[in-house]
């Protein structure tokens, strides 16, 4: 299991026995994978014990994140050097739109005001992603790939023991299903083709910062971050 990532075998595209760019990116953040797959926010969402207040914060934060995330994806499509690259990135927009629709429907059922405002970590995370567009396509693409990969790793880990009767299950299902893993595999191939000689220093920095932002995002939701 290279880099300590549970899903590494799904997304590795080795040629001639050598490590791909994605392999090397994953290895560069190997110390964070146990924190990703063992985060209490994900674990408690999986077993259904997540506090209702944390659930409300989750919906508000994810709604805000997704609104800005779509803008990031639009920017990434714009700077993609090939039509194929833009097309692969565009395939990720429907799942993000589905997530937003799912959040809005869930919020209505539970009386959650999605416009009540989110914490500083969410705003910082999406602002960082937007800023990466100015660093070029390979760096921004690496960050995007890592965002998707982290979610798959976390939620596929808790899926086996998840409580299907909770309000959290539809989100766990969406981020751990086969179609989601296939989408991430397509992104992995795109990253490998964008940087065939291995990740640049900027790509490695982006990968590390994204995983740390994601962990901070979950911690803020779990602990109740305020301004």
Task: Give residue limits of the domains in the chain.
Answer: 21-32+39-223
Tens of pLDDT, residue by residue over 138-180, are: 999 999 999 999 999 999 999 988 999 999 999 999 999 999 9
Closest CA to 61 of 120, 123, 118, 129: 118
CATH number of 21-32+39-223: 1.20.910.10
DSSP codes joined into one string, 128-145: HHHHHGGG-HHHHHHHHH
Which pLDDT value is given to residue 18? 80
The pLDDT of residue 3 is 43
SS3 (DSSP) at 18: strand
Q: Which residues, 6+ apart, have CB-to-CB distance to 182 below 8 Å?
A: none
pLDDT of residue 227: 84
| 26 within 8 A of 2, measured Cβ to Cβ | yes
The list of the chain residues with pLDDT below 50 reads 1-3, 15-16
Q: How far is CA 63 from CA 11, 48, 113, 163, in A?
A: 28, 21, 11, 23
């Amino acid at each position: 299991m290279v880099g300590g990532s549970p899903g590494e075998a799904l997304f590795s595209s080795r040629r001639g026995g050598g490590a791909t760019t994605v392999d090397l990116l994953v290895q560069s953040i190997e110390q964070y994978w146990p924190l990703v797959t063992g985060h209490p926010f994900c674990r408690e969402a999986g077993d259904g014990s997540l506090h209702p207040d944390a659930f409300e914060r989750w919906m508000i934060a994810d709604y805000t994140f997704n609104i800005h995330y779509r803008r990031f994806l639009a920017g990434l499509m714009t700077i993609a050097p090939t039509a194929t690259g833009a097309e692969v990135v565009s395939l990720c927009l429907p799942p993000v739109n589905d997530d937003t629709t799912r959040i809005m429907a869930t919020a209505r059922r539970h009386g959650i005001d999605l416009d009540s405002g989110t914490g500083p970590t969410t705003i910082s995370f999406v602002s960082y992603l937007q800023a990466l567009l100015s660093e070029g396509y390979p760096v921004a693409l690496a960050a995007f790939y890592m965002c998707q990969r982290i979610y798959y790793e976390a939620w596929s880990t808790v899926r086996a023991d998840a409580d299907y009767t909770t309000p959290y299950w539809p989100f766990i299902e969406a981020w751990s299903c086969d179609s989601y893993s296939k989408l991430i595999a397509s992104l992995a191939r795109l990253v490998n083709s964008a940087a065939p000689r291995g990740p640049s220093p900027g790509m490695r920095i982006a990968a590390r910062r994204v995983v740390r932002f994601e962990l901070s995002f979950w911690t803020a939701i779990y602990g109740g971050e305020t301004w």
